[in-house]
Structure 1
Amino acid sequence: MRFRVDRDVLADAVTWTARSLPTRPPVPVLAGVRIEADTTGTIQLSSFDYEVSARAQLPADVSEPGTVLVSGRLLAEISRALPAKPVDVVLDGTKVQVTCGASRFTLLTMPVEDYPNLPVMPELTGTVDGDELTHAVAQVSVAASRDDTLPLLTGVRVEIEGEKVTLLATDRYRLALREMTWKPANPAVQAVALVRARTLSDAAKSLGGAGSVSVALSTGGGVDLIGFEAAGRQTTSLLVDGDYPPVRRLFPDETPIHAIVNTQALTEAAKRVALVAERNTPIRLTFSEGQVVLDAGQGDDAQASEALEAVLVGDDISVAFNPHFLADGLGALDTTFVRMSFTHPNKPVEFTGQESLEGDDLKDYRYLLVPIRFAS
C-alpha cells in the first residue's frame, strides 16, 4: 500500500473516524483504524466497537492499493501534528511509514484479518437539513440521563411519522420534546427508534455542517440499527433495546398560570444568583404582577436575589429549580422570550419559546422541569 494525501484532509478524516474509538477496547484490534486504499484514488478510513461504526472517504493519489490496521488515536495525534505539506503513507512489511516534509513516523500494524466486518448501512429512510438536526438534537439531549445504570433513559426516542420527526428525552427530572420536518423516502413511513444520546449528539455535530444528512433506520429485522451519512462520511449505531416510558402524557393539558420573561435576562440573572447556591441547592423564582424575583441562599449562608420584569397571567406563584437544569432549559431556547406555564407550585413547569410578549408560544420545542420543594 502506498498513497499521498493532503495533510488537512487526512487529519480531519482520521480525527473524525477515531473519535468513537473505545478507551478500553474489549479486543486490541478495536483500538485501530482500518485504512483501505484502492486504485480509483479513494481511501476509506473505518472504525468500529461492535456498537458504533464510522467510515470516512477521502481523495488521494494511490500508487499501490492495500488495507492496513493501525492505532487510531496515535494516527490521529500524528496527523494533526504534521506540517502543512503532502503526506506519504507506505506499508513496509508489518510497519507503516508516514512521511510529511522532514517528519517521519513509523507505526506498527495490527492483524487486519482479525478486524470485525462493519455493519451494512440500512436503506434510506429520509433526509434532514444538517443544521436543523444539530440544533434539534442539542435541544433534546440536554434532558437525557447520564446514568448508564438506566440505559433506556440515556437514549433519545426518535418518532417518525411521515414528514414529521419528534425527538424526546428525559432523565426523570426534566423532559425535552422537539418536533421538526424532514423529507421521508416514503411519505407514509412510520417508525420509532431509541438512539443513545451521546451517539446521536456526536453524529449531529460532526455531520450537521455538511448540508443535507441522510438517515437510515432498520428495525424489526434482527439487527436494529440507525445510520447517518453526509459528505462522504457514514456512521451507524445499534439502537437501545427496551420500551421507553410514555412520557408525552406528562405535558399538562391546561396551565392556568403562565409568565413571560426575556430569555437572555433570565439566563444571566439565574447564573448570578446561582453563584451562592451550594451543590444541589435550588434557586427560587417568585412571580408577581410585573416581575419575577430570583433568590438563593438562606439563614447564615451566602444569599443573592435579583428582580426582573415579567408578564404574569394568573395568580402569584413561587417555584424552585435545580440551577443547572434551569440553565439547560433556557439555553436550549433560541427565542427572545421564554414562557413558563404552571399548574401548581410543586408540579412540573413547561418552558416554551415566544418571539414577543403578545401572541402564542411556540410548541415545536417544549422543556418540562420538575421543581424542587423549597423550605420556607
Structure 2
Amino acid sequence: MKFRVDRDVLADAVAWAARSLPVRPSVPVLAGLLIDASDEGLVLSTFDYETSARATLKAEVSDEGRALVSGRLLADICRSLPNKPVEMVLDGARVSLTCGSARFSLQTMPVDDYPTLPEMPAATGTVQSDHFAHAVAQAVTAAGRDDMLPVLTGVRIEIEGSSISLLATDRFRLSHRELGWDPRTPDESMAALVPAKVLGDTAKSLTAGSEVTVALAASGTGEGIIGFEGAAPGGVRRTTTRLLDGEFPKVRSLFPHEHQTIAKVDKAALIESVKRVALVAERNTAVQLAFSDGVLTLDAGSGDEAQASESIEATIDGEDITTGFNPQFLLDGLGAIDQPVVELAFTQASKPVVISGSVEGDAEASPFRYLLMPRRLLS
C-alpha cells in the first residue's frame, strides 16, 4: 500500500471516521481505522458492531493495499501535520507516514480480525442537509441520557410521505420537530428509533453537501439499521447505526389541543432572566413563573436561603397562572427555538407547558414544539 493525499482532506476524513470509535473497545481491533487504497482512491472505515463510518476520498495511489491502525492516534497525528501533501506506505507490520520533514511509524493491527462493515440499506429519500442538521439538533434536546432506559436515549423518526417527524423524551420533557423531505416512494410510511447521540453527530457532520440521503431498512436483509450518506470535501461519507430495540412511548397525545392561558415573551429577555434568577435556586428546585397583568415574574429561593426575583413584559391571553420548572430544562428548550418571541401555552399549573416559537399568521406554525413538565414549588 502506497498513496499520496492532500493533508487537509486526509485530516478531515480521518477525524470524521474516528469520531465514533469506542473509548474502551471490547476487542483491540475495534479501536482501529481501516485504510483501503485502490485505483478508485481511499476508503477510511471504522466499526464497533453498532455504528459504522466510511469516508471515501481522492488520492494518488501507487500501490493498492489495506492497513488497520489506531484511529485516535492517526487522527491526532493528522491534526498536527504541516500543510503539505501526506504520503503513507505499508512496510511489513508498520505504516510509515511522511509529511514534509515530519515522519511517523505506526504499528498495524491484523486486518483479517476486523469485522465486515454492514451494507447500506436501499435509499428511502433525501433531505436538505442544513435543514436536517438543525432539526435534529432541536429534537435531541429532550433525549434521555440514562443508559438504564435505552429506549429514551433515542430519537423516533417517523416518515409519512413527504414529511418527517422527530420525537424525543426523557420523561420530563418532550421535543417534536417536523420537516419536509423528498421520499423515493411518495406514500412511504416508516418509523425508526435511532440513538440520539449518533443521529446528532451524524447530521451535524454531513452538511458539506446540499443533501443527505437517508436509508432505512423496513424488512428483510439489514433490518434494524439506518444509514446516512452525504458529500464531503474530496469525497463521500456514509454512516450506519443499529436501531434501538423497544417500544417508544406514545407521546403525541401529551400535546393538548386546547389551552387556558397563552403567554408570549421575548426569548432573549426570558433566557437572561431565567439564568439570573436560577443562580439562587438549590439543586433540583424549580424557578417559579407567575403570569399576571401583562407581566411575567420569576422567583427562586425560599426561606432563609438566598432569594431572587425579576419581572419582564409578557403578552398574556387567558387566566393568570403560577407554575415552576427545572431551570436548565427550561433554558434547553428556549435555546432550541429559532424565533425571537416564544409562546408558552398552558392548560393548568400542574400540567405541562408547550413552548414554541411565535409565528405570525394562521397559515404558519412553528415546526418545533417543546413540552416541559412542571416541578413542585417550594412553599
TM-score by length of 1: 0.97
2:251 alignment partner, one of 247, 252, 275: 247
Identical aligned residues as a percent: 57
Q: Structure 1: which amino acid aligns with 2:251?
A: V
Listed as ranges, the matches of 1:151-170 within 5 Å are: 151-170=150-169
Are 2:364 and 1:373 aligned? no
Q: Structure 2: which amino acid aligns with 1:31?
A: A
Counterpart of 1:333 in structure 2 is 337
Does the Cα contact within 8 Å between 2:359 and 2:366 map onto a contact in 1? Answer: no
Question: Which runs of 5 or more structure 1 residues have no equivalent in the other structure?
Answer: none
The runs of 4+ residues in structure 1 deviating greater than 4 Å are 358-361
Q: Structure 2: which amino acid aligns with 1:177?
A: H
| DSSP 3-state at the match of 2:124 | strand
Are 2:263 and 1:259 aligned? yes
| DSSP 3-state at the match of 2:116 | coil
The RMSD of aligned alpha carbons is 1.2
Does the Cα contact within 8 Å between 1:350 and 1:366 map onto a contact in 2? Answer: yes
Counterpart of 1:140 in structure 2 is 139
Does the Cα contact within 8 Å between 1:228 and 1:236 map onto a contact in 2? Answer: yes
Q: Structure 2: which amino acid aligns with 1:264?
A: A
Does the Cα contact within 8 Å between 1:15 and 1:76 map onto a contact in 2? Answer: yes
Does the Cα contact within 8 Å between 1:224 and 1:239 map onto a contact in 2? Answer: yes
Does the Cα contact within 8 Å between 2:285 and 2:377 map onto a contact in 1? Answer: no
Counterpart of 1:345 in structure 2 is 349
Counterpart of 1:354 in structure 2 is 358
Deviations 1:116-137 (A, max 9, x none): 1000011010000111111111
Q: After superposing the two structures, state which structure 1 stretch, 294-303 or 174-183, moved more.
A: 294-303
Counterpart of 2:286 in structure 1 is 282
Q: CA deviation at 1:305?
A: 1.2
Q: CA deviation at 1:208?
A: 2.6
Q: After superposing the two structures, state which structure 1 stretch, 94-103 or 273-282, moved more.
A: 273-282
Aligned equivalents of 1:359, 1:117: Cα separation in 2: 52
Does the Cα contact within 8 Å between 2:126 and 2:182 map onto a contact in 1? Answer: yes
Q: Structure 2: which amino acid aligns with 1:216?
A: A
Aligned equivalents of 1:336, 1:291: Cα separation in 2: 18
Q: Structure 2: which amino acid aligns with 1:45?
A: L
Deviations 1:67-95 (A, max 9, x none): 11000000000000111111110001000
Aligned equivalents of 2:321, 2:350: Cα separation in 1: 10
| DSSP 3-state at the match of 1:210 | coil
Aligned equivalents of 2:147, 2:376: Cα separation in 1: 27
Q: CA deviation at 1:359?
A: 6.1
Q: Label 1:255 to 1:360 Cα distance change in 2 as closer, same or farther (>3 A).
A: farther
TM-score by length of 2: 0.97
Counterpart of 2:32 in structure 1 is 32
Are 2:48 and 1:49 aligned? yes
Q: After superposing the two structures, state which structure 1 stretch, 204-213 or 61-70, moved more.
A: 204-213
Aligned equivalents of 1:103, 1:76: Cα separation in 2: 15
Does the Cα contact within 8 Å between 1:354 and 1:360 map onto a contact in 2? Answer: no
Aligned equivalents of 2:74, 2:112: Cα separation in 1: 20
Aligned equivalents of 2:283, 2:82: Cα separation in 1: 46
| DSSP 3-state at the match of 1:104 | strand
Q: Structure 1: which amino acid aligns with 2:304?
A: D
Are 2:311 and 1:307 aligned? yes
Q: Structure 2: which amino acid aligns with 1:263?
A: K
| DSSP 3-state at the match of 1:135 | helix
Q: Structure 2: which amino acid aligns with 1:16?
A: W
| DSSP 3-state at the match of 2:367 | strand
Are 2:274 and 1:270 aligned? yes
Aligned length: 374
Q: CA deviation at 1:360?
A: 8.1
Counterpart of 1:196 in structure 2 is 195
Counterpart of 1:15 in structure 2 is 15
Aligned equivalents of 2:101, 2:134: Cα separation in 1: 42
Deviations 1:170-210 (A, max 9, x none): 00000100011000011011000000000100111101342
Aligned equivalents of 1:195, 1:257: Cα separation in 2: 35
Q: CA deviation at 1:276?
A: 1.3
